[in-house]
Chains A and B, each alone.
Chain A
Amino acid sequence: MSMLRIRPWRLMFVAINTLFLGAVVLLTVYPFLFIIAASLSDPLYIQQGRVGVIPMGLQFDAYRRVLEYPMLGRAYLNTVVYTVVGTAISIVLTVCAAYPISRRNLPGRKLMTGFILLPMLFGGGLIPTYLVVSALGMRNTIWAIVIPAAISSFYVFIQRTFFEQIPAELEDAAKIDGCSQLQCLLRIILPLSVPSLVTIGLFYAVGQWNSFFPAMIYLNDEEMFPVQILLRDIVIQNQTDQMMVDVFDDKNLIGESIKYSTLVVATLPIIAVYPFIQKYFVQGSMMGSIKG
């Protein structure tokens, strides 16, 4: 840090940077302040377009109603289980796929890479995938949720790129010390890849947390439903113009606030996880920035 010499261009850069990041933060954060304010506001004011970032006609009824939802606790538990199990499977399989194709001199590497790339471009679509999952008897089990989407080729390529960046001499040195390839992966490569594994793990975890479609089509048992299905039910219900919903209920009055409070309730836990994970990035970036 002491090396930093204050120069005019540096000041100008800091100013521009501050403006830029400030704008990003402002634009990102405004809708969220709105969501939180709306979830706490009297729906009448939301409808009149008078709610900005400060709640108007403060109420907690919307939250109370969402939390009263009988299946909510169960659904949370399911989501956590699917997320944890799914992410673990995903990371293991992704490493299994990414590591071999990151070895530049492995015979057949090109073929293996192509094998993983092709499915990114060619998708089977809904029906064929459904038929495969059904044929394997996975319907209405946790496996239908965590297995069919276990590997994303996209993340395999990201992970491969990280593996490739690890200097080969580290590995070579380990091998000279008598490590087998697998030991080498476990002891040298993986510990060095923590930032990328955490990143990819987070991507998988968030994907699993936010996913509702597999649950919707494969699960029949309400006991097994994740939170996102409830969220969708509540949000969609307040949007449909079916005859049935036309019946007036005081629930309709608060519908707009319920929509936003549901969003907060369904999203908050996974967002809360992030700061804990982020420390892995930060450690790394501190290392980088300290040299500035």
Chain B
Amino acid sequence: MAEQDTALSEAVMAASRSKVNRGSPMKRYLPYYLLFVPPLIYYLIFRYAPVVMALTISFMDYNIYKGILASPWAGLKHFIDFFHSVYFWRVLRNTLVINLLNIVFVFPAPILFALMLNEVRKATIKRTVQTISYLPHFVSTVIVASMAVTFLSPSVGLMNNLLAKLGYERINFLLEPEYFWAIYTGIDLWKTLGWSAILYFAALTGINSELYDAANVDGAGRWKQTLHVTLPGIAPTIIILLLLKIGDMLEVGYELIVLLYNPNTYVTADVIGTYVYRRGILEANFSFASAVGLFQSVAGLVLIIVANRLARKYSETSLW
């Protein structure tokens, strides 16, 4: 994409990097650092302090009644426990598959949706479609799961009534392990499509309209404009979101899965999150939960560092 930038946008970028040097560096930069102080304090207290505690807890046998100071050390016990679990590979695989499906299907969908909607000329239609699309974001997971169960039910569900009308066998979707990934991805897509697109709408809004003018003067058609102006315009947003998504490769929230899975579909539905939910949260084994969390974080960190390096190499945007 970056290579296809029009000459014009290159020029704009170049101009933007010209520097105006005035005053001593300290005087110039001090306001920025001062601005950063409140977030700095916030992060130290509410993000870093808990992480330090959690790191400590994951190497301990943390006893909530006694507190961190009085709990005994446990070394690598909880990590070994997790890696040696008979379900380690299964939950790891399921977590990765669900996230890969997310990157392939759920991640690009809002981009496509935003671009398509951007082509609609009538403002009222545009607004209406956009407003409707973000509705699912407001529905709590409990309700989403309950509706999914209803719609997918073999006996009373809409899906199966359709299948039956078309002359197919009714399928018990939630009971067959092979459907679980598709169902989860589908629900994820439904719930996030419109809401995630908001960021792209905002990015589209931010594209300098002069760039379109210039492209028009050059005689570029709609398709070419999309390719050379629109896409590069939202590319930074896409790349940032993708990088952050990659950092989350080992995370799948447990809430929806817990409501949808059953012993029959554990084989595809059990992810790290649900496994830890059963062993760490419900059984109040916080050290174990922290240890697995640490493993997920370190793995995520490695992935995001690699991805960021690639992003820096091939595009103008990166996280740092």
Contacts and interface: CB of A to CB of B under 8 A. Distances in A.
B130 A278 contact: yes
B247 A288 contact: no
Nearest to B299: A121
Contacts of A290: 209
Interface stretch (B42-50, B89-97, B263-271): B42-50
A25 B290 contact: no
Q: Which 7 A-B pairs have the closest CB atoms?
A: A124-B50, A284-B205, A49-B156, A128-B50, A128-B53, A97-B39, A291-B212
Interface of A: 1, 3, 10, 13, 17, 20-21, 24-25, 27-29, 31-32, 34-35, 48-49, 92-94, 96-97, 99-101, 103-107, 109-110, 112-129, 131-132, 136, 147-148, 150-151, 154, 156-158, 161-162, 164-165, 167-169, 172, 175-176, 180-182, 185, 195-196, 198-199, 202-203, 206, 210, 231-232, 235-236, 239, 259, 263, 267, 270-271, 274-275, 278, 281-292
B31 A180 contact: yes
A132 to B, nearest CB: 6
B132 A25 contact: yes
Of the listed residues B33, B137, B193, B320, the one surrounded by the most CB atoms of chain A closer than 10 A to its CB is: B320
Contacts of B66: none
A121 B304 contact: yes
A154 B243 CA distance: 11
Determine the main DSSP class of B at the interface with A.
helix
A25 B145 CA distance: 20
Given A24-B113, A121-B247, A180-B31, A287 B51 contact: no
A281 B202 CA distance: 6
Contact of A32 (B135, B216, B297): B135
Interface stretch (B74-82, B98-106, B115-123, B170-178): B115-123
A112 B140 CA distance: 35
Instruction: Report the contact-size class of chain B (Cβ under 8 Å from the partner).
Output: 35 or more
A275 B51 CA distance: 39
A221 B225 CA distance: 57
Interface in B109-158: 113, 116-121, 123, 126-127, 129-140, 142-143, 146-147, 150-151, 153, 155-157
A21 B117 contact: yes
Contacts, number: 272
A125 B286 contact: yes
Nearest to A172: B20
A122 B123 CA distance: 42
Nearest to A181: B31
Contacts of A198: 202
Nearest to B155: A49
Contacts of A147: 42, 46
Interface in B285-315: 286, 289-290, 293-294, 297, 300-301, 304
A211 to B, nearest CB: 11
Interface in B195-211: 198-199, 201-209
Interface in B8-42: 12, 15-20, 22, 25, 28-29, 31-33, 35-40, 42
A167 B142 contact: no
A110 B119 CA distance: 38
Given A31-B147, A107-B29, A116-B39, A267 B138 contact: yes
A275 B127 contact: yes
